Amino acid sequence: MQHYGCRQPLNSKEEENPPTCMERSPTQLCCRLARDVTGISKMPAVSKGDGMRGLAVFISDIRNCKSKEAEVKRINKELANIRSKFKGDKALDGYSKKKYVCKLLFIFLLGHDIDFGHMEAVNLLSSNKYTEKQIGYLFISVLVNSNSDLISLINNGIKNDLASRNPTFMNLALHCIANVGSREMAEAFASQIPSILVAGDTMDSVKQSAALCLLRLNRTSPDLVPMGEWTARVVHLLNDQHLGVVTAAASLITTLAQKSPEDFKTSISLAVARLSRIVTSASIDLQDYTYYFVAAPWLSVKLLRLLQCYPPPEDAALRSRLTECLETILNKAQEPPKSKKVQHSNAKNAVLFEAIALIIHHDSEPTLLVRACNQLGQFLQHRETNLRYLALESMCTLASSEFSHEAVKTHIDTVINALKTERDVSVRQRAVDLLYAMCDRSNAKQIVAEMLSYLENADYSIREEMVLKVAILAEKYAVDYTWYVDTILNLIRIAGDYVSEEVWYRVIQIVINQDDVQGYAAKTVFEALQAPACHENLVKVGGYILGEFGNLIAGDSRSSPLVQFNLLHSKFHLCSVPTRALLLSAYIKFINLFPEVKATIQDVLRSDSQLRNADVELQQRAIEYLRLSCIASTDILATVLEEMPPFPERESSILAKLKKKKGPGNLPDIDDTRWNVNGSAEHSEDTESTNKVTPHHPFTDLLNLNSTPSAGASLLVDVLSDISTPAPITVSEDNFSRFVCKNNGVIYEDQLLQIGLKAEYRQNLGRIYVFYGNKTSTQFLSFSSSVTSSDTLKTHILSTAVDPTVDGGAQLQQVVNIECLSDFTDAPVLDIQFRYGGTLQKIAVKLPVMLNKFFQPTEMTSQDFFQRWKQLGVPQQEVQTIFKAQHPMDTDVTNAKILGFGVALLIGVDPNPANFVGAGVIHTKNTQVGCLLRLEPNTQAQMYRLTLRTSRESVSQRLCDLLSDQF
């Protein structure tokens, strides 16, 4: 969640209400205490020659020093005086110790070393006066390190104060533990603080401090904070009457829930109940915790964050109550502001954006997702830059949801305008990200054109990333390859310096793999090279393509072989050594393609500038190519210099570079998962990937499943190591049903690992991107995975060889190709194993590959539908079920689920407009199965009747089981 006065998250220490000593830095506190201890704001008049100066006078003297030397002289004088007092025979009283210790603290904060006074500060801990004890704890928090010999004395003093049951002294001790936060402090007190927190007789202020202290120790030394009986009791602090305790407890529970979700699962219902009471209350009901007419904004934000640690509640009543809370927050955002002050709008928007983050996290309520998108759309033209930034950032995530993607696309004109007119480069960066996320086949040409237009004037800091995104979008959504070639060449022309090798490698790979675009590509690069000034990357692309396919345009006198050669050679002297080497290879290819220019090219290769070139690579190429052209026969030359074969399928190197540039992040960040749907592939130097892929049309073999898999890879493929995958103990199916009507999201999550999926299907083929996220700060070792499936499904994992070590916080991606051979029931199982902390972890997750994923929607008229309905009238072909509604009966939600199920929603076909009718065809390799469905809701009885008719009984039953669980 972002703060709305700035783009940084709200600081957990600044959020607690009311503020306490522990929430400020020691430096801030000492400056404040220097004022508080003196008790005056103005410096008193001190007579000349006064031997003992007070703290206020000393601070005044330091401020009045005219030079650094004067300040040092004054400080040295004071240090000598304090040292003499501490070493004197006369015992000092508590007031004097406090004053001198405070002076030492002030001197230390000015940047001077203090090597005495520590014992006197420790002695202040035993005082019964608050101000003396406070200065002692403050001195210890700032100056005493964990290796000090006084640690045992300090710990004894803290233990005495914790056991005193004096709330003031207990608070001071807890603040000191949290401010120091060392491992030694955690070892000494981590087991004692939980008992203070959950004790029934503990004061509210102490509970607050104990919760925040435990939070601090958990952050610095999580392995030392014990989980035990107190964890179940601390959850009930969310029901505490004191909102300060609830606020502190919410911070602690959120952090602990991220570490051990199952231990704190009961917090969901309590958090929803508390959030419901807050959002439905008037500001006067929570007067002490109302901030500029917004009821308990910090607590609301914390509760919403806590709920983001878990999936949507399974209990229907609880889920409904949470939905009401989120709807109330969205409704309040539409109300006129109750104050014109910025603090009011900041607090109100803080709660709103965190609620939207929860809606996005759950990704299960289409109505809320669309409403959230519309609300964010209003912020896109807000006068506050920060709100525009955050709206764009949140909409990037919404664009990856199937339910809200179309709603996000409606704001395309506003986002394009922001890209052109925004003054803040960071906002323009978010606009680029959103355009990338909302892009699909319907708007790809418009978005790519706008991004190319902006690229000419874009900030240098974002040009490289924009180039990668334009290249990925052009490849993914190319309707035809001529547009793709034009786009990439235009990209090189506009921002050639930022076009990495991966981009021009990729265009060459695609041109080589696609026969129908080779002639057009050769003609286009030939025309582009005729410009007086060409970027070197364009010369590389032109040299490669003309060397391979220049013969396709040689019939035109304007692009004859000699003209092509002269055009390329005119750029030779302007290029770097690697490009010159590539051009020499193009020349020898020309000798094979065009024997008539052989003599001209041999003269170039014989020249001193080549044979005696200072660069050994160029010299060697020139000599070898010259000898090859002289001694080899035409047949040998044709064999050696034959056309490049198609490249084998690999993940796009452009996408890999973009992900690397973005850096490892937490899941689900899978909206950037873009992969080529046009059958192109990346060149591989691995000896294992030697199978050739037959060139094919971009829309025939969408997912490249016709390429030859490695031997024995049909049922079980071990992709990351040679270790055989052990049989899983339990197969996780927790989130399986959530994917029946959606293709993206998190399928599995525990305290160690998060697994996200992004899938796409076409006819009987499917491709699933699997993302493994290491949620810990510790490496996973010996990481491996495999997929097992039934005989009716063929699975094949595409993956380059990866390091079996997954760093903490890092993300690993794999691709699973699916081919449906015939109708099936059992889904494939993904088996994962790795070592964490020396322990072997084994996880088995059922992949959400259901029969309905292979649906192709079929539009039908009313007459055609009922005619086909009657043809499928055999009893074995129909399955009908009547069931109770498990979720609110919302028409828009039902429409979205039926469309997500894969069938076409037929409007106006059923005589009863309240009924839902759909049609589709399931594609398998062996056969096609037509399907008609009819869903009849009864809102009064909260019941549904679902009827399915297909040409195969087993298919009808399976589809009925899958769909009936969604309503």
Reply yes or no on whether the pLDDT at 270 is more than 60. yes
Distance CA 476, CA 465 (A): 16
Query: Residue 40 has what pLDDT?
Result: 31
- The first and second tokens of residue 804, run together, are 């079996």
Locus of tokens 């490669």? 544
Which stretch of 341-350, 475-484, 642-651, 797-806 has the lowest confidence by average pLDDT?
797-806
919 DSSP β-pair partners: 904, 932
Distance CA 850, CA 373 (A): 29
Q: Please return the burial class of 51, using the count of CB atoms within 10 Å of its CB with bins 0-12, 13-18 and 19+.
A: exposed
Query: Residue 633 has what pLDDT?
Result: 83
Reply yes or no on whether the pLDDT at 690 is more than 50. no
Please enumerate in sequence order all residues whose Cβ is within 8 A of that of 148, keeping only pairs 6 or more positions apart, or say none: 118, 154
Q: Are 817 and 765 in contact (CB under 8 A)?
A: yes
Average pLDDT over residues 107-131: 87
The total of other beta-carbon atoms located within 10 Å of residue 45's CB is 6
Locus of tokens 């051009």? 583
Query: Residue 261 has what pLDDT?
Result: 85
Please enumerate in sequence order all residues whose Cβ is within 8 A of that of 43, keeping only pairs 6 or more positions apart, or say none: 56, 57, 59, 60
Query: Residue 831 has what pLDDT?
Result: 86
The mean pLDDT value of the chain amounts to 80
Per-residue pLDDT of 748-767, as tens digits, reads 888 888 888 888 888 888 88
Locus of tokens 């921002």? 495
Helices assigned H by DSSP within 862-908: 862-871, 891-901
For residues 318-351, one letter each, b for 16 or more C-beta atoms within 10 angstroms of the residue's C-beta and e for the rest, the string is ebebbbebbbbbbeebeeeeeeeeeebbbbbbbb
Per-residue pLDDT of 371-393, as tens digits, reads 999 999 999 888 889 999 999 99
Query: Residue 649 has what pLDDT?
Result: 62
| pTM, full prediction | 0.64
Please enumerate in sequence order all residues whose Cβ is within 8 A of that of 945, keeping only pairs 6 or more positions apart, or say none: 880, 881, 882, 935, 936, 938
Of the two residues 166 and 286, the one the predictor is more confident about is 166
Q: Of all helices (H) and strands (E), which one includes residue 585? A: helix 577-593
Reply yes or no on whether the pLDDT at 781 is more than 90. no
Distance CA 154, CA 525 (A): 77
In order of 346, 622, 812, 925, the CA distances from 562 in angstroms are 69, 19, 50, 51
Of the two residues 674 and 889, the one the predictor is more confident about is 889
The total of other beta-carbon atoms located within 10 Å of residue 967's CB is 20
Per-residue pLDDT of 45-82, as tens digits, reads 333 333 335 788 888 888 999 999 999 999 999 899 88
In order of 187, 500, 536, 538, 838, the CA distances from 464 in angstroms are 49, 8, 16, 17, 41
Banded pLDDT at 793 (limits 50, 70, 90): low
Per-residue pLDDT of 401-451, as tens digits, reads 888 888 899 999 999 998 888 888 899 989 999 999 999 888 899 999 999
Distance CA 291, CA 344 (A): 7
The total of other beta-carbon atoms located within 10 Å of residue 42's CB is 8
Of the two residues 671 and 166, the one the predictor is more confident about is 166
Residue 30, phi then psi, degrees to nearest 5:
-65, -40
Per-residue pLDDT of 511-565, as tens digits, reads 888 888 889 999 999 999 998 888 888 999 999 999 999 888 988 889 899 999 9
Distance CA 400, CA 699 (A): 24
Reply yes or no on whether the pLDDT at 653 is more than 80. no
Q: Binding site: what residues are annotated?
A: 53-54, 85, 95, 99-103
For residues 777-810, one letter each, b for 16 or more C-beta atoms within 10 angstroms of the residue's C-beta and e for the rest, the string is eebbeebbbbbbbbebbbbbbbbeeeebebeeeb
Q: Are 521 and 485 in contact (CB under 8 A)?
A: yes
Per-residue pLDDT of 840-888, as tens digits, reads 888 888 888 888 888 888 888 888 888 888 888 777 788 888 888 888 8
In order of 389, 406, 776, 910, the CA distances from 377 in angstroms are 12, 13, 35, 36
Query: Residue 655 has what pLDDT?
Result: 65
